[in-house]
Structure 1
Amino acid sequence: MNLSIFFEPLNEDVFVKLSKPRTLGAYINRFVSKFPDWRGADIAILGVHETRGLTGEETMATKPSASPARAVRKKLYSLLKGNGRCQIVDLGNLRPGITLDDTYLRLKEIVEVLISHNTIPVIIGGTHDLEYGQYLGYEHLDRVVNMVTVDSSVDMTEDAEATANKKQLRQILMHEPNYLFSLGQIGYQSYLVEPEVMATLEKLHFESYRVGEVHRSVQEMEPVVRVADLLTFDISAIRHQDAPGYEPANPFGLTAEEACQICWYAGLNDQLTSLGIYEYNPELDKRELTAMTVATMIWYFIEGFYHRKNEIDFNSKQFTKYAVAFSEDNPDRMIFYKSKHSEKWWLEVEALSSDKGNRIVPCSYEDYLQAIKGEIPNRWILTQARIG
């Protein structure tokens, strides 16, 4: 497939001074005059300058002057490259469709093609509703997928007057065919979320974590991220003093450090195949602080990717298997796996129905300690309820 027809080339004049030795700009093969060979790349960066999910307009309006992807690239290219290989391409900016739905479908095609060739798209948006197009890119896989979204709110409103970037999760849940197995919501703030929305997440047995829970232990978010096939990040999840480039301004939220930690976990995740970062508005980012925050998040994602351990074969010698019995009178056991290399934990969940197989899901050491005490971890309960 000729992907170049979907993209606008970059202005080389902006980036020529950022390609100093040892910086990422010197290693990223970007679309200026010749479209890069993405088939041999590990990661492909693409900008999606689409804001109709916020404005509510149906067809293409006057193009905004400030491009979020351009501002992020200027910071990202100037960061020093980490150790090891670096096979990354920058495909340029996706040409928006005539309608917003057309943009979703274009993004779907791009994501589908890239992940089919084992190239991870890193999407710099654009409004958060673009995650719908990102999600659609997994429809061809003919299997269920797991999604994690980091956001200060839960974009699932039923308000017909709401803009598209406040209801895309409902689109995802209502989409047919339904191939969403799990949804993890990280960093939400209770006073920004309707109680009915949280009740829906609970009814569907999805995991959700308030921003305070992330502050208390960002490490406990690692198993949540590790289960994801795709992760989306709304910049509004980060407190305004660390990322002022969004509106409405919010003094509460994740720190920039916590955002980078989550992106590091996403990079390490062997099964994650796409990352989308949305809602950055450079016109509100006078000192380019948000651009630097987003660029550093992507840097940590890249570093995490090149530290992956390929921990997927639980029958191999790289795992230690633990069987936890609840009591002497109860023959039931809970099976845990621990990696000898990364020391990460997994949990085997039995299906309620005999015609469905067991499922091994990421967990934390705290889940193991809870099981030793005779308590069933909540992660086990939610997963079993989804398996059926």
Structure 2
Amino acid sequence: MNLQLFFSPIDLPENLANNSVGAQIQFLTHENFKIKNCDLALIGLTDHRGAEQSQNEVEAVEKIREKFYRLKKGIGRYRIGDLGNLKSGESLEDTHARVREICEYLLGLKIVPILIGGTQDLSFGQYQAYEALPELVTLLNVDAMLDLEASGAENSTFLDKILTYTPNYLFSYNHLGHQSYLVAQDHLAVLDKLYFEAMRLGEIREHYLEVEPLVRMANLMTFDITAIRSADAPGNLKAQPFGLSGEEACQICWYAGMNEKLSSISISEYSPALDDQHAKTASVIATMLWYFVEGYYNRKDSGKFETGEYTKYVVSQEGTDDTMIFYKSKATDKWWMLVTFGDKHSQKAYLPCSYKDYTNATHGDLPDRWIKAQAKLI
């Protein structure tokens, strides 16, 4: 694929310190650029037609890049490529198709697309890129709202397209950070009926350790910065006084980066015209990207559960011959539960979980996510 046909070149950063993130980046316009030498690929999205109001999204990705490239490099050898800004299509649907094509190409090369800018409906193209893959996928959406509205702008209705898309390769849709007074109860009922998981803002505050397994389930993540409170991220058309803190948003991105299954991420809905004079929101997004990259280069779990890398725990179910099996990583202390299904339970799925799920099982309580997984797999 000739990537330069799809992307508009960007102004290369100047006067970067040798130990900065930007000094480690490979740019598509460099003569010796080779996409196969990249682990991660940064993609700017500038199409804003999915929003109710037009915004200067080119400025948005420029602001984010400016902040990101001046951060200090973390651990490991960075292999990050910046492809530039994806050229928008003649229609919004054309842009969705281009996002899909580029992400599909990168996923085929085992390269993680990092999409920044644009409206969140562009993550529909991100999701479509997984259609050709053999396994079912789990999508994690971090958003203060649930974009299942019957009418309105594309970025407030696009989730219905994902949930009803054919062919159906969506194993689970998980939602993180919604605020109850911004979400219709019948929309939450839809998620519950489909055995999907949703964790509202208050639950995050009360049980923050339960966030990590939810993130670890995901194959792809989309993050609408409306989920971040306006004090930390004012540059958003629907900014809310309550929400995740900037630190919590970075923690979620750290979890996402460390998730060996997660193979693409998008961060959307930044409006620089609404940001403060210091471009605070761009700084928060840049730091989120930094934590995602750091998490990626700290991946440690192999997923080889029947090896000495994991401790196996067998929990008996009182009054029956049934057992539940849990695994704990010796490297990271993370937990998984085994779910069997199919003919004579011959097929296996290893579901991320928490220590709380394990302790609940030891007291005879089946974990809720185990029940939901069984319901989806039957």
Distance 2:335 2:82 in 1: 35
RMSD, matched Cα:
1.6
1:28 to 1:336, Cα distance in 2 relative to 1, 3 A: same
Q: Aligned residue for 1:344?
A: 334
SS of structure 2 residue aligned to 1:53: coil
* 1:118 alignment partner, SS class: coil
Consecutive aligned runs of 4 or more in structure 1 exceeding 6 Å deviation: none
What does residue range 257-272 of structure 1 map to in structure 2 within 5 Å?
257-272=247-262
Alpha-carbon separation, structure 2, partners of 1:6 and 1:35: 18
Aligned to 1:372: 362
Asked if 1:149 is matched to 2:128, the reply is no
Partner residue of 1:69? 61
1:119-145 deviation line (CA, Å, top 9, x unaligned): 101000210101101001111103211
CA distance in 2, matches of 1:370, 1:96: 49
CA distance in 1, matches of 2:68, 2:357: 37
| Counterpart residue number, 1:311 | 302
Amino acid at match of 1:248: K
2:36 corresponds in structure 1 to: 39
Q: Structure 1's 126 and 372: CA in aligned 2 closer, same or farther, altered over 3 A?
A: same
SS in 2 for 1:113: helix
* Aligned: 1:225 with 2:223: no
> Are the equivalent residues in 2 in contact too, given 1:269–1:308 (CA < 8 A)?
yes
Secondary structure class of the residue paired with 2:50: helix
One-letter amino acid of the counterpart of residue 214, structure 2: V
Deviation per CA, 1:278-321: give whole Å up to 9, x if none.
10111111320000000000000000000001421111110111
TM-score, normalisation: structure 1: 0.94
Distance 1:34 1:170, change over 3 A: farther
Range with bigger deviation, 133-142 or 350-359: 350-359
Q: Which runs of 5+ in 2 are unaligned?
A: none
Q: SS where residue 90 of structure 1 aligns? A: strand
Matches within 5 A, 1:3-14: 3-12=3-12
The percentage of aligned residue pairs carrying the same residue is: 44
* Post-superposition offset of 1:356: 6.7
C-alpha displacement of 1:29: 1.1
Displacement, 1:355? 7.1
TM-score normalised by the chain length of structure 2: 0.96
**Secondary structure of 1:86 counterpart:** coil
| CA distance in structure 2 between the aligned counterparts of 1:68 and 1:30, rounded to whole angstroms | 19
Residues in 1 aligned to 2:47 and 2:14: alpha-carbon distance in whole angstroms:
26
The number of residues matched between the two structures is: 377
* C-alpha separation in 2, matches of 1:291 and 1:320: 42
Q: Distance in 2 between matches of 1:55 and 1:86?
A: 38
Greater mean alpha carbon deviation, residues 31-40 or residues 210-219: 31-40
Q: 1:350 deviation in Å?
A: 2.8
The answer on 1:139 being equivalent to 2:131 is yes
Q: Tell me which residue corresponds to 1:386.
A: 376
Cα distance in 2, alignment partners of residues 35 and 165 from structure 1:
38
